[in-house]
Amino acid sequence: MGVPTEIKPDEGRVAITPDGVRELHGHGVSVLVQAGAGLGASIPDAEFAAVGAEVVATAEEVWERAGLICKVKEPQESELAFLRPDLVLFTYLHLAAYPGVADALLAAGTTGIAYETVQTEGGALPLLAPMSEVAGRMSVQVGAHFLERHNGGRGVLLGGAPGVRPASVVVLGAGNVGWNAAWMAAGLEAEVDLLDKSIDRLRYVDQIQMGRVTTLASNRGQVERVVTQADLVIGAVLVAGGKAPIVVDEDLVKAMKPGAVVVDIAIDQGGCIATSHETSHHDPVFEQHGVIHYAVGNMPGAVPHTSTYALTNVTLPYLSELASLGVAAAVGRDDALALGVNTVGGAIANATVAEALGKEHRPLAELLGAG
């Protein structure tokens, strides 16, 4: 297995920790790690070498020698040349948002397995969950920061002050991202409205948050009412493997308070705010219609040490299966992992991804059988 250094701008995470390397060695899997791969996450090469990883100098060597590449972000332009038919790539792919990467995987015949579409029978997304939790918690931090007047915001403190009304925070989506955002905002004593279409999900949140968050059924009228009164709107809508739906259209953004802040966490899947476009950690915000927009595409990359350990905790069991058994056997015994397979042999194996890209879908069993 190979772990190259991440080269996407502002990405400091690495796809495995030293504990992960040690665990894989216990399964008889050798691990190549590119020199410096862990430095952004405050993990020096010596820690990888101490548990048996072979630290190699270049990305080329990692990609060429390894049959299984484990990454954090989708392959970047300079990495696409490394794709090949006998390679398995295990990473966040977000192909609905990056169709060019999908085309490259299909052209190369690479088996692409996406963290974000590994899905359990109950609908949970175990490899997305920890990064969703990090992004949800971060969204409140960054929202509070940009609400400060010198950062372009309305000059509102989330928790208010004695005798002063706290900020109004609206969270769109009550999944892992949204619930963590709502929880953090409530912890800072903001007034929080959490919207979702699933009444069962809202019922669950309502039972555990003890009245600190107002849960609301999401529909057009409800969204319009709360968004226009909000100081901070957090977009946390997700369709596994697909493009995020637009929940806040441009006219609604125009109707928001001047200096309000939007944090569009769904930007990795195209965004759920009509006026959003992807930004970076070095240039995270822009203003449109008087509203500050934060739409960084890899929010957990800002805290790469925490994010790396949280990610490896959940990817390692699947990685062990893939490295020890091979793709066909691993997905044969794990239905959740099977849903993670996006591309095989030049075809798309995940129906939701195929629909999002407007391409043909072929059943995974057929593709693996053909391989």
The strand pairing partners of 347, in sequence order, are 344
| Strand-strand pairing, 191-196 and 54-56 | unpaired
Does the annotation mark 293 as catalytic? no
> Catalytic: which of 193, 196, 264, 268?
268
Does the annotation mark 268 as catalytic? yes
| Strand-strand pairing, 261-264 and 285-288 | unpaired
Give yes or no for a contact between 64 and 83, defined as CB atoms under 8 angstroms apart: no
Which segments of the chain have a pLDDT < 50?
Answer: 371
Element (H, E) at 288: strand 285-288
> Catalytic: which of 94, 196, 293, 334?
94
pLDDT, residue 241, reads 63
Take residue 12 and report the two structure tokens written for it: 């400091």
pLDDT, residue 268, reads 82
pLDDT, residue 269, reads 84
Which residue shows structure tokens 């194996």? 349
CA 214 to chain CA mean position, Å: 26
